[in-house]
Amino acid sequence: MKVLKFGGTSVANPENINKVKSIVQSSSKEKLAVVVSAFGGITDILLNTLQQASEQDDVYKSGLEQIEQRHIEVIKALIPVHNQSAILSKVKSALNILETLLEGSFLIGEITPKLSDKIVSYGELLSSYIISEFFKAEGLDATFNDSRELIITDNSYGKAIVNFEKTNANCKEYFESDQHQIHILPGFVASSNDGNSTTLGRGGSDYTAAIVAAAADATLLEIWTDVSGMYTANPRLVKQAKCVTHISYEEAMELSHFGAKVLYPPTIQPVLGKEIPIVIKNTFSPDDEGTLITKNTNGGGKTVRGISHVGNISLLSLEGPGMIGIPGISKRFFETLSLENISVVLITQASSEHSICVGIADEDVDRAVETVNEAFEYEMARKKIKPVIVEKDLTIVALVGDNMKSHQGLSGKMFSTLGKNNVNIRAIAQGASERNISVVIKKADVKKALNSLHEEFFEENIKQLNLFVMGVGNVGSKFLNQIRQQKKYLKDELQLNVRVIGISNSRTMAFDENGIDLNEWEAVLGKGEKADKENFFDKVNELNYRNSVFVDNTASDEVANSYPNYLKNSISVVTCNKIACSSDYTLYRELKQLAKKYNAPFLFETNVGAGLPIIDTLKNLIASGDKVNKIQAVLSGSLNFVFNNFNDEVTFHDVVKQAQEEGYTEPDPTIDLSGIDVMRKILILARESGNQLDIEQIENEAFLPQESLDTNSNEAFFESLKKHENGFQELFKQAKDADSKLKYVAQFENGKAKVGLQKIPKGHDFYNLEGSDNIVLFFTERYPNQPMIIKGAGAGADVTASGIFADIIRIGNF
């Protein structure tokens, strides 16, 4: 004999019930017990309706109507017309009793557990009856049997305890005597010794099926549901979760105990002793392999088999000096909880014996606090024990696997993965079987925790990076295009799944939790909501994705000021905006420290020399123990362009104008021409070499007349250039006479930095610098005479975008 159980979704409507019929028909021709749940959602509606009735709220009647409609709809769709009236009248008379029971609750204004079980049992009683009539009408050799006549329990309504002796005897007798091939049974329901309806706990139809399978010595228990087996994590929360094809009873029990709802935890117990295999299959994809649960598995070569989580948990801690070394406190504590029928999901005790901490369901917490405080009143009054401390709204996340005991370092890996993602761990427990390591975390962090643990333990190869990009102008749009083009390469070759989740310009912002389609980001952004930097941050924080990266492609100081918020939430920051690193030294230090403390890289390679690997090289030199003695550099693409094109045949004004028009200068050209931009860059290099320096300390030998520097509009600035043309021509002439070229040079030596225009003689490394190229010479202890030189295009949207890209990849490898 075989037992098949179909869950709520599998029997939610006529179409699904037809699928169930096909599965049953194509099953073996041996005797089958088919256990069914209530039609999907009906149990919840019944419980809600009862709640409303007991609150004397008239709306309960609409719940009742809904229940009636759902059942009648199924009958009309599945049962041939000539059979319908008998079945309809039976169902209606059951619904009349249900109505009377609800009316009773309405009139008295009360629910009792006994009444609740009586009412909720109608879900399974009706579904199983209707399905059995449908099967018969379809010519199957089927019969209905009321599980309440087979499964006998005590009268702990809501989650009754099974009397296996009576139940096993009843089942044996029934299945031996009834010769139909298919036996349809309602799941979830049972009856007490004195004949009242009881239930086996929410999700309990799985348990019904297991009880019947064990009692009737079935060869197999099939659980048919709406997923293709037991997954490495809840597939609704972790998209990458995979089906575990073979798992042990203990592993399955542990996973379900910690929240893998696909199997009701007590289900394993009855079949375990008889070693009846369980298979979990998908009603909507019956050809999928599913999960086989048996006694021994080889663990599939894996240590961690699954990650599960239970929500709505509170931590209850009892602590105080009076607990140390005194035997019996734990015993009293647990006894007190047990007498109140409060089940403890997780236990930790500090090794100092100074505190005991347990995880219990949120709904039990008020009762628990009251009863524990009462039980330890004497000790609390004498300050030997503090009043119980409670923390609510938590979730337990557990790693489960039979082979975990023989592997070291799993908990370390678990904690560091959570730590890197800024998930705070409130408590830790490891079962004595070492089959399970559990942590208690905040509810808001669950999705992130599950996904980052899943990535760590099951997707060793692929890492997901979630980008939030602010600024999609020249550089930002190029950057998005580069990511679009390289997406496949990144995945295939670097095992990085780079997704852009949010984008913003100064007008609008848009988010897509599944990743914005980068072919359409402009349209998506166009339809976005009004841009707001604070709301943008709030959204990034609220989404709470693992490996989140904030990318700043703006030149805004407001955006730069928001970096600490990102870093403090373990969100990495990549920026081409120089403001943060070149303003106050304390801000620069703070950002570096936050990055370290919160394990979130803060990268700004493009602040100096666009895409050239200048800062990264400097970091590597320093990390390997080198020391920078001197830096000499030409760092302004704009000024290079200007001085490479300026001569005695053109005017300085026209060249600067051209540079501005071709996008080689900032919109305000004085930022480049005054040397401020170069000062910022050498400042950053000096700081990155380990020096404490501020921009005011940098000497700037300005070549622009003060009058030009003081102008307050672009027009006035260009006018003043015209006026001083002679002076510029004089600079050119002096250089030409000395067989030199004019270059705007930055220098750092002996703790001092300066920038200014210099005449560079032939043969010097800077002499042949073309176009907008940058060059940096690092004189270090290892490169004392012949410096390390980095040279190449140091300006332009494309190379800047690729520099940002390189920082993103660095984070991917972090």
Q: 43 touches which of ligand ASP, Mg ion, ligand ADP, none (CB within 5 to 8 A by kind)?
A: ligand ASP
Q: Which is nearer to ligand ASP, 121 or 565 (CB)?
A: 121
Q: Tokens for 120, please give them.
A: 């909720």
Pinpoint the alpha helices (H) of 26-156.
42-54, 60-78, 81-108, 113-137
CB 291 within 8 A of CB 230: yes
Counting contacts by CB under 6 A, is residue 621 touching ligand ADP? Answer: no
How is 580-618 classified by DSSP, letter by letter?
A: HHHS-HHHHHHHHHHHHHTT--EE-GGGTTTTS-HHHHH
Counting contacts by CB under 6 A, is residue 252 touching ligand ADP? Answer: no
Residue from 7, 63, 299, 476 binding ligand ADP (CB under 6 A): 7
DSSP 8-state secondary structure symbol assigned to residue 785: S
Q: 9 touches which of Mg ion, ligand ADP, ligand ASP, none (CB within 5 to 8 A by kind)?
A: ligand ADP
Residue from 126, 230, 440, 755 binding ligand ADP (CB under 6 A): 230
CB 545 within 8 A of CB 455: no
CB 269 within 8 A of CB 209: no
Q: Taking contact as CB under 5 A, which single stretch among the options 201-209, 343-351, 632-640, 665-673 is the one that binds Mg ion?
A: 201-209
Cα dist from 340 to 344, 364, 371, 388, whole Å: 11, 9, 8, 16
Residue from 9, 116, 417, 575 binding ligand ADP (CB under 6 A): 9
Q: Tokens for 792, please give them.
A: 């190449």
Backbone angles phi, psi at 241, to 5 degrees: -60, 145
Residues numbered 259 to 288 that lie near ligand ADP (CB under 6 A) are 260-262
Q: Taking contact as CB under 5 A, which single stretch among the options 168-176, 202-210, 626-634, 790-798 is the one that binds Mg ion?
A: 202-210
Sheet holding 197-199, edge to edge: 152-153, 189-192, 197-199
Counting contacts by CB under 6 A, is residue 157 touching ligand ASP? Answer: no
Counting contacts by CB under 6 A, is residue 266 touching ligand ASP? Answer: no
Q: 266 touches which of ligand ADP, ligand ASP, Mg ion, none (CB within 5 to 8 A by kind)?
A: none
CA-based nearest residue to 37, from 173, 185, 175 = 185
Distance in Å, CB of 51 to ligand ASP, minimum: 15
Counting contacts by CB under 5 A, is residue 203 touching Mg ion? Answer: yes
Q: Which long-range contacts (CB under 8 A, 24 or more apart) does 386-391 make?
A: 386/318, 386/319, 386/320, 388/316, 388/317, 388/318, 389/316, 389/317, 389/318, 389/319, 390/314, 390/315, 390/316, 390/317, 390/365, 391/314, 391/315, 391/317, 391/426
CB 614 within 8 A of CB 793: no
Binding mask 108-137 for ligand ADP (x = CB under 6 A): ------------------------------
Q: Which is nearer to ligand ADP, 204 or 812 (CB)?
A: 204
Q: Taking contact as CB under 6 A, which single stretch among the options 197-205, 348-356, 497-505, 559-567 is the one that binds ligand ASP?
A: 197-205
Residue from 23, 34, 35, 37 binding ligand ADP (CB under 6 A): 37
CA-based nearest residue to 258, from 423, 458, 438, 445 = 438
Q: Which is nearer to Mg ion, 7 or 123 (CB)?
A: 7
Distance in Å, CB of 4 to ligand ADP, minimum: 12
Q: 202 touches which of Mg ion, ligand ASP, ligand ADP, none (CB within 5 to 8 A by kind)?
A: ligand ASP
Distance in Å, CB of 35 to ligand ASP, minimum: 9
CA angle in degrees (0–180, nearest 5) for 394-395-400: 155
Q: Which is nearer to ligand ASP, 7 or 471 (CB)?
A: 7
Residue that has been written with the tokens 């609390």 in this structure: 380
> In b/e form, how buried is each residue of 641-657, taking b as 16+ CB within 10 angstroms?
bbbbbbeeeeebbebbb
Binding mask 22-51 for ligand ASP (x = CB under 6 A): ---------------xx----x--------
Q: Is 681 a catalytic residue?
A: yes
CA angle in degrees (0–180, nearest 5) for 1-161-272: 40
Catalytic residue (one of 681, 741, 743, 791): 681
Q: Which residues have a catalytic role annotated?
A: 681
The residues binding ligand ADP (CB under 6 A) are 7-10, 37, 203, 225-227, 230-231, 233-236, 260-262, 306, 308
The residues binding ligand ASP (CB under 6 A) are 7-8, 37-38, 43, 123, 187-188, 202-206
The residues binding Mg ion (CB under 5 A) are 7, 203
